Amino acid sequence: MALHKDEAIVLFKRSYGESDKIIRLFTLSSGKVAAIAKGANKSQKRFANTLEPFNHIRVEYFEKYGRGMVRIENADIVETNSGIEKSLKRACTAGFFVEFVDRLTKERERHDDLFNVLAEALQGVRAAEFSYDDILHYQLRMLEVLGFMPNFHACVYCGQAMAADEKIFFSKERGGVLCHRCAPSLPHQVCAKGVIEGIVSVQQGNGSTAPGFQAASGCAEKGPVYLNNGFEKAAQDIMEGFMTFHLDVEFKSYRILKGLIATNSE
């Protein structure tokens, strides 16, 4: 049995029997891996606190414990989760990123870029409480490295490049923006000017308030005019519609997190 050495981020942990723990790791070289840590529950010394969720660790494991699991032999810390426990919002934000990676990747699929984005996102949450824009930024970067990014740049039907102020029709079904000629014949929602550009701007790390963004209006499909946090609501609406339609996932952690974002911005 070969001993594998790798870096990993701990996605999930639970007790197994009296003395063991079952861990889900997102490893740099092998993607998502299910693992068992023998004796981790019994002896605090065995793995100390290395196998806690959100920790970035170096890990040594043997292949084939059974049932597709590997057996963790050694683990030590690269970066602890310290800081994430400071508030419920931080814990939920980290939980959302981890759930995102867990749900959108398959076992044993290597994703170097995603690993790096997740590590950077968790690093950010350790250091500070994230705003909605920060969360959206990492969500978009993760979608991009996974190849699931909506097209916010050219009409998804005819391919025509579009100016910023033309981007008001979004089709979650088609996975991107529509031009004014294609929109009437395809399913779409109408967004306030600046929302789509705001999302692009957040992805690029320039902040959400793109020129021309009107804070007092959101997606027209929803009816009521949004106040103050118009961008957040409109962007959430676009992203949730897209994720649910194309990836068929709803995140438990995101539901809680959304409640916390709403409370904070009122």
Q: How far is the CB of 192 from Zn ion (least distance, A)?
A: 20
Please choose, out of 2-10, 71-79, 172-180, 230-238, the segment that lies near Zn ion by the rule CB under 5 A. 172-180
SS3 at position 157:
coil
Q: How many residues bind Zn ion (CB under 5 A)?
A: 5
Q: Please, are residues 48 and 57 in contact by the beta-carbon 8 Å criterion? A: no
Which CB atom, from 146 or from 186, has the smaller least distance to Zn ion? 186
Q: What is the DSSP letter of 174?
A: T
- Candidate list 25, 75, 143, 155; residue touching Zn ion; CB under 5 A: 155
**CA separation for the pair 9, 53 (Å, rounded):** 8
Please choose, out of 63-71, 114-122, 153-161, 213-221, the segment that lies near Zn ion by the rule CB under 5 A. 153-161
Please choose, out of 21-29, 147-155, 238-246, 251-259, the segment that lies near Zn ion by the rule CB under 5 A. 147-155
**CA separation for the pair 51, 243 (Å, rounded):** 30
Rule CB under 5 A: say whether 158 interacts with Zn ion: yes
Which CB atom, from 137 or from 167, has the smaller least distance to Zn ion? 167
Q: How many CB atoms lie within 10 A of CB 66?
A: 8
- Candidate list 54, 132, 138, 157; residue touching Zn ion; CB under 5 A: 157
Q: How far is the CB of 166 from Zn ion (least distance, A)?
A: 10
**CA separation for the pair 258, 241 (Å, rounded):** 15
Please choose, out of 44-52, 75-83, 178-186, 247-255, the segment that lies near Zn ion by the rule CB under 5 A. 178-186
Q: How far is the CB of 204 from Zn ion (least distance, A)?
A: 24
Q: How far is the CB of 210 from Zn ion (least distance, A)?
A: 21
Q: What is the DSSP letter of 105?
A: S
Which CB atom, from 39 or from 159, has the smaller least distance to Zn ion? 159
Please choose, out of 43-51, 88-96, 111-119, 154-162, the segment that lies near Zn ion by the rule CB under 5 A. 154-162
Q: How far is the CB of 58 from Zn ion (least distance, A)?
A: 50
Residues 7-46 that bind Zn ion (CB under 5 A): none
Please choose, out of 9-17, 34-42, 86-94, 148-156, the segment that lies near Zn ion by the rule CB under 5 A. 148-156
In 17-156, where do the E strands start and end?
20-27, 31-37, 56-66, 69-79
Which CB atom, from 155 or from 238, has the smaller least distance to Zn ion? 155
CA distances to 22, 198, 209, 243, 256 from 247, rounded to whole Å, are: 27, 23, 28, 5, 20
Rule CB under 5 A: say whether 179 interacts with Zn ion: yes
- Candidate list 33, 40, 182, 191; residue touching Zn ion; CB under 5 A: 182
**CA separation for the pair 103, 112 (Å, rounded):** 17
CA distances to 218, 226, 231 from 207, rounded to whole Å, are: 18, 19, 11
Q: Please, are residues 260 and 96 in contact by the beta-carbon 8 Å criterion? A: no
Rule CB under 5 A: say whether 100 interacts with Zn ion: no
23 beta partners: 13, 35
Residue from 92, 82, 158 nearest 127 by CA? 82
Residues that bind Zn ion (CB under 5 A): 155, 157-158, 179, 182
